[in-house]
């Protein structure tokens, strides 16, 4: 005999009454499937970019993102300026918030640091 009862209306099954253990297994299975779907979606959306904790903490402590990444990459200000083809004083002014770089300058710095350009702005970590 089936442990599931059906309620019919006009000769068609409309409701199923199931024992609580069956219901709990169904809920658990549905939650597991939802978790798998969320995980799969997160993997598909992953761009592979990771911000190391050293960089994130420095930025949260008020260090300009370019300076935080430069120190993480163990580059001197002169070396990064050379690689980005800008002057050392200009880079220093950007790192100290006295000037902002154009998108071209920020792109050159991002290439030299090997990070996406959007991680080099003051609002990159929140």
CATH number where 59 lies: 1.10.260.40
Question: Which tens digits make up the pLDDT trace of 87-96?
Answer: 999 999 999 9
Count of the separate structural domains present in the chain: 2
At 59-73, the pLDDT tens digits run 999 999 999 999 999
* Token reading at 92: 């220093």
H or E segment and range at residue 7: strand 5-9
Q: How confident is the model over 28-36, as a mean pLDDT? A: 94
Is 77 among the domain residues? Answer: yes
The boundaries of the domain holding residue 19 are 5-45
Q: Which two tokens stand for residue 19?
A: 């024992």
Judged against a pLDDT cut of 60, whether residue 124 lies above it is answered with no
**Backbone φ, ψ for residue 8 (5° rounding):** -110, 155
The pLDDT, as a whole number, for residue 122 is 67
Q: Which residues contact 102 (CB under 8 A, 6 or more apart)?
A: none
> Is there a domain that residue 125 lies in?
no
Sequence-ordered alpha helix ranges (H) in the chain: 20-45, 53-60, 65-72, 77-84, 88-95, 103-113
């Amino acid at each position: 005999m089936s442990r599931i009862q059906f309620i019919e209306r006009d000769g068609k099954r409309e409701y199923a009454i199931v024992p609580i253990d069956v219901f709990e297994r169904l809920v658990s299975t549905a939650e597991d499937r939802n978790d798998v779907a969320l995980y799969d979606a997160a993997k598909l959306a992953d761009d592979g970019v990771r911000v190391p904790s050293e960089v994130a903490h420095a930025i949260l402590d008020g260090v300009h993102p370019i300076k935080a990444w430069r120190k993480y990459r163990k580059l001197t200000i002169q070396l990064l300026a050379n690689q980005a083809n800008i002057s050392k004083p200009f880079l220093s002014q950007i790192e100290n918030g006295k000037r902002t770089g154009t998108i071209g300058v920020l792109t050159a710095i991002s290439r030299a640091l090997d990070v996406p350009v959007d991680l080099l702005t003051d609002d990159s970590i929140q």
